[in-house]
Amino acid sequence: MYSFANDYSEGACPKVLNALVETNDVQAAGYGQDLFCTAAAETIRKTVGNESVDVHFISGGTPCNVLAISLLRSYEAVICVESGHINTHETGAIEATGHKIITVKGKYGKITPAEIIEVVSNHPDEHMVKPKMVFISDATELGTIYRKSELKAIYETCRKLGLYLYLDGARLGNALVATGNDLTFKDICRYTDIFYIGGTKNGALIGEAMVIRNDDLKPYFRYLIKQHCAMLSKGRIIGVQFLALLEDSTYLDNAKNANIMAQAIKYIFKQYGIPMFIDSPTNQIFPVLENRLLEKIKTKYEVTEWGKFDKNHTIVRFVCSWATKKGDVQDFYNDLFTYMQNRTV
Amino acid sequence: MYSFANDYSEGACPKVLNALVETNDVQAAGYGQDLFCTAAAETIRKTVGNESVDVHFISGGTPCNVLAISLLRSYEAVICVESGHINTHETGAIEATGHKIITVKGKYGKITPAEIIEVVSNHPDEHMVKPKMVFISDATELGTIYRKSELKAIYETCRKLGLYLYLDGARLGNALVATGNDLTFKDICRYTDIFYIGGTKNGALIGEAMVIRNDDLKPYFRYLIKQHCAMLSKGRIIGVQFLALLEDSTYLDNAKNANIMAQAIKYIFKQYGIPMFIDSPTNQIFPVLENRLLEKIKTKYEVTEWGKFDKNHTIVRFVCSWATKKGDVQDFYNDLFTYMQNRTV
Amino acid sequence: MYSFANDYSEGACPKVLNALVETNDVQAAGYGQDLFCTAAAETIRKTVGNESVDVHFISGGTPCNVLAISLLRSYEAVICVESGHINTHETGAIEATGHKIITVKGKYGKITPAEIIEVVSNHPDEHMVKPKMVFISDATELGTIYRKSELKAIYETCRKLGLYLYLDGARLGNALVATGNDLTFKDICRYTDIFYIGGTKNGALIGEAMVIRNDDLKPYFRYLIKQHCAMLSKGRIIGVQFLALLEDSTYLDNAKNANIMAQAIKYIFKQYGIPMFIDSPTNQIFPVLENRLLEKIKTKYEVTEWGKFDKNHTIVRFVCSWATKKGDVQDFYNDLFTYMQNRTV
Amino acid sequence: MYSFANDYSEGACPKVLNALVETNDVQAAGYGQDLFCTAAAETIRKTVGNESVDVHFISGGTPCNVLAISLLRSYEAVICVESGHINTHETGAIEATGHKIITVKGKYGKITPAEIIEVVSNHPDEHMVKPKMVFISDATELGTIYRKSELKAIYETCRKLGLYLYLDGARLGNALVATGNDLTFKDICRYTDIFYIGGTKNGALIGEAMVIRNDDLKPYFRYLIKQHCAMLSKGRIIGVQFLALLEDSTYLDNAKNANIMAQAIKYIFKQYGIPMFIDSPTNQIFPVLENRLLEKIKTKYEVTEWGKFDKNHTIVRFVCSWATKKGDVQDFYNDLFTYMQNRTV
């Protein structure tokens, strides 16, 4: 059984694992105030091209989202697309901190300035929540990516309307190295108020790096981290990992491998005329499979059933990661060939 | 500079680190539903002598406390001693989930049945919160431990009053191997409704193991873990570590080393007639030091200033861990000798 | 200037006001535990045909909604139609208590069993909130009403799925006396788990009566009332009012007057061929008015602009109440005649 | 049976009741944005001698406290004395909005600058909550009052430490007219950041007036009122009542009557050598009564048992209000005479 179910099926990528082993015996201060975190934060400041951002290392993606949104006042709300992770897969963690999520349809998992403007104009007074933040992710939940012009337009809309723009970068690496991408780390920093660089899904054992550019959002952030259960005693382990990932090209290399492998699988499907539910250029692809074919695949591969397409077809998600090897994809190619051969028409 | 500041200054103990490395490339399901977590849970069920407990792996100690207390209804409150970690060092995380902490004085960091009874009798109606849980820790924040008779009495008081008893076991290992201790893992499980076995402070890189014995508290606990930011995508890493710690005597051995080293330092102080603020038998000791001596110590050692004793004296905390070596204590012995020699009287 | 903007523009209806004056000097216990509240609760038990329901007097409609939903566990969610009051006009009060609202489209402001079933099937695991309550209102926000068969079907769906059904009865009187209604107070009680009888919008100065039929929801409800700021020191004043409203036909008579007056205005509009946005049989009507006509109306009448219909037309809400007099409607009839006469075609 | 149990046993004082009746049929805007609230706010601005304060009318005392404290960020805490209403009698309403209450001993129900300073110095970092507001009440829960010099010192301490000072004025009238008081409405406004003028306990049927002087606390306050269930649809009724109370001396006259009656009872007790638990100059007095005497009193009078004094004595609370008549006190005088005569020694 091989799993294409997600990009967190293995532990850490070799370089990260090695770094953890090598630094293991060094004594370091607790709670993310150690030399490794300090060095990693400095590396991130260089990476995003901004010396004055605040960097915090956080235990996971949901915590990052909770933290960013908990910067709001209790009556302030966050806007996101219906498929947004905070709206669907965080067990109400955002609402549990008291904040309403206002959803819009979006397009291919992405929000548009027009949708933001409409939400704000529909929330004029104190009988409604006050929209104050826009949540986006890049890559999105559907594997799609934002173009620079799109991100810039959203950011400028936010500024005009007095909203903060927060970007969930759980799969930011996959976005930045995708075919068609024209954004850089520096752009991401420039056109958001706060965002995070995902570690867990791109080679780290655990941890994400929150980057705060907007000065209004900086004060007392560590209080929020601690209060929201996202501060590790041995915070050093996240610093160590991000240093390993970002001091050279490891972070982007990991993402490239993930994208290339997923796109290879997409290509394999396309050869058989199998359509994609959405044409994503990153490490998640969404073929629409005949149920009979899906059953065969599931005898040897773990994948995620994303939704029913029609009576006989299912939308399936395949995810690759830094750990996916050429051989794994080759095996799948061979198996699919067999399945297709034996197909009764 | 050597740190006696806490028991989480290093990474993982060798056996744990090794286990992480060895299992790194195995594909495993996410969110703590993998083979390692399953095996570790089974090991814990054996350790605590109860096949029907629920076991969950949690990202840290504050999350554990938040989760246990979030089992309460919004108007229900938790009782603890003033020095309780939830009351002092969790940035209001408990209150942030909506629950009031009712404090009592306690004695040597420990709560008494009489205090519990008094709180309940002082909260008779709906204009006040309803006490519903008692929070204790073993070892306590002051390094002291509960005797079996004490724990049993507290538990029976709780049962009589309809309260849940929750035990914070961040330093449970240190308690169970302390001189004077007569409790076992099985007793801890028998005389509480829910408790956690601490990993982070006893050799793990990250993670704690929550054990739920009371059936009323079991349902839907994973929803709470996810909602409160305490579920890891790569949950496997906590399972791997607890398996390594508990499949043999590593967990208790780690704790023993920590206690022995701390008690050795206590003995060194006592030789010079330096009194302890509290006589704790575990891995935290609290000498009352002359400020001039403290200043000298701080030139080579990191320690925690626990509080002012009087104008000329400070209560200081020294903590040892699985990582503290005989040589470290020997060095301190030598340095202290020098400081004491040169003391101007 | 005359206001058709809402049904709470005046104080109390004469009988209620009189009751407040007459009982003013009687000494009574605080917090709703007085003789008036006791008597009113008894009257309500008879009205709803169930001697064992719990009755609580609450300071307002939003508090009622918050209280009902705060009966849920933190990870449990409430389902309602997009136009539901809790989703649109309560400043995130539900989310502020930690609960997610899952919205469905609905039809004419009403939810369908199919929508409920779909939500539940889309929320299978702990990465999502757990749907646990359905929120409906009768009359709805759009003035429409539920048929007995509809309410019964929703209730049975809820039971089958383990959901609570909560009914917001801010305008319950208006529903129960509407043309086409076949529900009674007894049906409302039989086919919901918890609901409230609205006072403020039907002749009371302040206050609503929460009725809890499901035994699971009864315990400790007064703790929630107090905690959520909905308990009045002089709780007596709500008891006094509900006694006055429900000891005879005053409550239903008030609602009848409101409905008749609103329907009369609807009839007036229909005579001029002016369409309704939705054909509601209660005290709220929603004509689609030419903007020029609306401007004229607004010179003498306060109304609510509900939304834009198209470039030249606006959806407008007219509301009548127990206080609306025949003469007020007659005046509007006359004014509208004048406006329509002078219309430039 | 006559009740001295509290100061909200009757409805409204005659002038307030009359104002409600007289304005009942006037149409007015909802949610406290009506002409009566506007006029009452203007009257309050004059009363407190500050034209730029924001005034909001709130449904009750607990809501006021919740609102003031919900101005804080989630990790910020409020300091109050142990006997503070928010700490003891609000069913955890403050914690339910996520905030920790840090208690200090206080003296006679009053906080001291030294206590505030100590709390702040004990909360230095992000592992603890950040103290940000001080809560006081005048009169206090024990009926005592603040001297001008005391309030000023507390306020200046708060300013120096960056804390907001909030004053709960549920019984502010009783404080301002007490013997020994040297504070005025203007002083209260000058030496706090936010406070409320209590209505319910001083002649209103319902409602309190929140006054915000500090500009930082003004924005978006109406969002909080709505979200926290404290905004009435017929908000007018609070405006009407405060206008009636404050447009002339009614408010202070009500309080004077309450104080005089309570002090008269105190004098009666003192004649028999019965001591007071605390010597309060307002409308609450706390005699220490022999249990046998208390039992006799309870055959004809409702009073509150405040606490056990010793085996044979109980601390009892007598409260008077605007509604207490000379005759009521005279009756009690006569009854006490009888009880004392028949006393077996």
Closest CA to B12 of A240, A82, C230: A240
Are residue C259 and residue C229 in the same domain, yes or no?
no
Among the partner-chain residues A21, A26, A200, the one whose CB lies closest to the CB of B21 is: A21
Residues whose CB falls within 8 Å of the CB of residue B245, separated by 6 or more in sequence, listed in order: B13, B15, B16, B199, B202, B203, B204, B251, B254
The β-bridge relationship of strands C313-319 and C304-310 is: antiparallel
Using CB atoms and an 8 Å cut-off, which of residues 206-225 of chain C contact chain B? Answer: 220, 222-225
Residue D192 φ/ψ region, left for φ over 0, alpha for ψ in the -120 to 50 degree band, beta for the rest: beta
Nearest CA in chain A to C88: A128
Strand partners, B130: B76
Are residue A40 and residue A106 in the same domain, yes or no?
yes
**Alpha-carbon distance B186 to nearest alpha carbon in chain C (angstroms):** 30
- What confidence tier does C343 reach under pLDDT thresholds 50, 70, 90? confident
A90 with A119: CB under 8 angstroms? no
A240 with A23: CB under 8 angstroms? yes
Spatial distance between the Cα atoms of C234 and C205, rounded to a whole number of angstroms: 13
Q: Could you give the residue ranges of the DSSP H alpha helices within C162-227?
A: 172-176, 185-190, 221-227
> Which residues of chain A neighbour D74 with C-beta distances below 8 Å?
70, 97, 224, 227
Mean pLDDT of A201-224: 98
> Which residues of chain D neighbour C233 with C-beta distances below 8 Å?
6, 8, 60-61, 200-201
Mean pLDDT of B240-264: 98
Are residue C213 and residue C65 in the same domain, yes or no?
yes
> Which residues of chain B neighbour D91 with C-beta distances below 8 Å?
75, 126-129
Are residue A198 and residue A92 in the same domain, yes or no?
yes
Are residue A29 and residue A138 in the same domain, yes or no?
yes
Q: Which chains touch A (3 or more CB pairs under 8 A)?
A: B, C, D
pLDDT digits (tens, 9 = 90+) for B143-184: 999 999 999 999 999 999 999 999 999 999 999 999 999 999
Number of domains forming the structure of chain C: 2
Are residue A336 and residue A226 in the same domain, yes or no?
no
> Which residues of chain A neighbour C74 with C-beta distances below 8 Å?
92, 96
User: Per the omega criterion (within 30 degrees of 0), is the bond before B244 cis?
Assistant: no
Spatial distance between the Cα atoms of B228 and A92, rounded to a whole number of angstroms: 9
pLDDT digits (tens, 9 = 90+) for D9-29: 999 999 999 999 999 999 999
pLDDT digits (tens, 9 = 90+) for C61-110: 999 999 999 999 999 999 999 999 999 999 999 999 999 999 999 999 99
B231 with B31: CB under 8 angstroms? yes
Strand partners, C317: C304
- What confidence tier does B344 reach under pLDDT thresholds 50, 70, 90? low
> Is the pLDDT score of B320 beyond 60?
yes
Mean pLDDT of C141-149: 98
C124 touches chain B (CB under 8 A): no
* H/E segment holding residue D301: strand D301-302
| pLDDT for res B343 | 72
Spatial distance between the Cα atoms of B255 and B322, rounded to a whole number of angstroms: 6
For residue B321, give the CATH number of its domain: 3.90.1150.10
**Alpha-carbon distance C155 to nearest alpha carbon in chain B (angstroms):** 24
Q: Which two tokens stand for residue B100?
A: 């009031």
Out of C246, C268, C293, a domain closes at C246
**Alpha-carbon distance B300 to nearest alpha carbon in chain A (angstroms):** 14
The average confidence (pLDDT) of chain C is 97
For residue A193, give the CATH number of its domain: 3.40.640.10
Among the partner-chain residues D70, D75, D130, the one whose CB lies closest to the CB of A74 is: D70
Closest CA to A190 of A67, A52, A65: A52
Are residue D231 and residue D193 in the same domain, yes or no?
yes
The b-or-e profile of D11-27 (16+ CB within 10 A means b, else e) is: bbbebbbebbbebbeeb
What would the DSSP string read from start to end of B46-57?
HHTT-TT-EEEE
How far is residue A304 from each of residues A168, A235, A329, C24, C136, measured CA to CA in Å?
22, 32, 17, 67, 35
Q: Could you give the residue ranges of the DSSP H alpha helices within chain A?
A: 14-23, 35-47, 61-69, 85-88, 93-96, 113-121, 148-161, 172-176, 185-190, 221-227, 236-246, 250-271, 291-298, 326-341
The β-bridge relationship of strands A301-302 and A288-290 is: unpaired
**Alpha-carbon distance B11 to nearest alpha carbon in chain A (angstroms):** 5
Spatial distance between the Cα atoms of B257 and C109, rounded to a whole number of angstroms: 67
Report CB contact under 8 Å: C88, A126.
no
pLDDT digits (tens, 9 = 90+) for D78-124: 999 999 999 999 999 999 999 999 999 999 999 999 999 999 999 99
Are residue D215 and residue D102 in the same domain, yes or no?
yes
ipTM for the predicted complex: 0.96
- What confidence tier does A343 reach under pLDDT thresholds 50, 70, 90? confident
What count of other Cβ atoms lies within 10 Å of the Cβ of residue B110? Answer: 21
Are residue C272 and residue C242 in the same domain, yes or no?
no
What percent of chain C is modeled with pLDDT above 90? 99
> Is the pLDDT score of D50 beyond 80?
yes
State phi, psi for B230 to the nearest 5 degrees.
-115, 10
Among the partner-chain residues D20, D27, D206, the one whose CB lies closest to the CB of C234 is: D206
- Longest CA–CA separation in chain D, Å: 65
Closest CA to A169 of A147, A140, A149: A140
Domain, as residue range, for C88: 14-246
- What confidence tier does D174 reach under pLDDT thresholds 50, 70, 90? very high
Q: Which two tokens stand for residue B92?
A: 């209001």
D59 with D207: CB under 8 angstroms? yes
| pLDDT for res B152 | 98
> Is the pLDDT score of D343 beyond 90?
no
The average confidence (pLDDT) of chain B is 97
- Look up tokens 């009966």; give the residue: C71
Report CB contact under 8 Å: D88, B128.
yes
DSSP category for residue D70: T
| pLDDT for res A314 | 98
pLDDT digits (tens, 9 = 90+) for A255-298: 999 999 999 999 999 999 999 999 999 999 999 999 999 999 99
Nearest CA in chain C to B69: C74
Report CB contact under 8 Å: D75, B88.
no
B75 touches chain C (CB under 8 A): yes
The average confidence (pLDDT) of chain A is 97
Q: Which two tokens stand for residue B237?
A: 């890493």
Are residue C31 and residue C70 in the same domain, yes or no?
yes
pLDDT digits (tens, 9 = 90+) for D240-269: 999 999 999 999 999 999 999 999 999 999
Are residue C58 and residue C43 in the same domain, yes or no?
yes
**Alpha-carbon distance D105 to nearest alpha carbon in chain B (angstroms):** 13
D161 with D124: CB under 8 angstroms? no
**A23, A222, A233, A304: best to mutate for the B interface, most B CBs within 10 A:** A233
Report CB contact under 8 Å: A226, D127.
yes
Q: Which two tokens stand for residue B172?
A: 């449970």
> Which residues of chain C neighbour D25 with C-beta distances below 8 Å?
10-11, 323
Are residue B56 and residue B151 in the same domain, yes or no?
yes
> Which residues of chain C neighbour B130 with C-beta distances below 8 Å?
220, 223
Spatial distance between the Cα atoms of D242 and A56, rounded to a whole number of angstroms: 50
What percent of chain B is modeled with pLDDT above 70? 99
pLDDT digits (tens, 9 = 90+) for B147-156: 999 999 999 9
Q: What share of chain D is helix, strand, coil (3-state, %, to 5)?
A: 40, 20, 40
| pLDDT for res D344 | 60
D129 with B88: CB under 8 angstroms? no
DSSP-derived 3-state class of residue A130:
strand
Query: Could you give the count of Cα atoms lying within 13 Å of A19 in the half-sphere of its Cβ?
Result: 23
What percent of chain A is modeled with pLDDT above 70? 99
> Which residues of chain C neighbour D3 with C-beta distances below 8 Å?
27
Nearest CA in chain A to D30: A127
Report CB contact under 8 Å: A236, B11.
yes
